[in-house]
């Protein structure tokens, strides 16, 4: 609830940039509150806001390909199943 209210603040990007200047910051799943987690858009937001690092999750798919995905299945983050 607090985070939803926080992101309704008009100047949230400037507030986040200030926080990122004051602390060593790591964006979880690439800053998943501003864009879908573990996506290029999330990683670009992380860089634009000035985070020092971003965390991402790498998994092996059933065909032995590496994918950036937090969960073991796609159920939570897509409209697919598996």
Residue 1 has pLDDT above 60, yes or no: no
Spell out the alpha helix ranges (H) of 1-76: 2-6, 12-22, 40-49
pTM of the model: 0.64
Catalytic residue among 28, 33, 39, 68: 28
Q: 35-81: per-residue pLDDT in tens?
A: 888 899 988 988 888 888 888 889 998 899 999 988 888 888 888 87
Rounded-to-integer distance, Cα 81 and Cα 56, Å? 22
Q: What percent of the chain has pLDDT over 90?
A: 13
Q: Clarify whether 52 is annotated catalytic.
A: no
Is 8 a residue whose pLDDT tops 70?
no
Identify the CA nearest to 35 among candidates 56, 19, 14.
56
Active-site annotation holds for 28: yes
């Amino acid at each position: 609830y607090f985070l939803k209210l926080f992101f309704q603040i008009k100047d949230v990007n400037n507030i986040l940039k200030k926080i990122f200047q004051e602390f060593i910051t790591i964006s979880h799943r690439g800053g998943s509150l501003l864009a879908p987690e573990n996506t290029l858009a999330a990683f670009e937001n992380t860089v634009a806001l000035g985070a020092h690092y971003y965390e991402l999750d790498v998994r092996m798919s059933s065909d032995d390909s590496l994918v950036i995905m937090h969960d073991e299945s796609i159920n939570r983050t897509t409209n697919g199943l598996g």
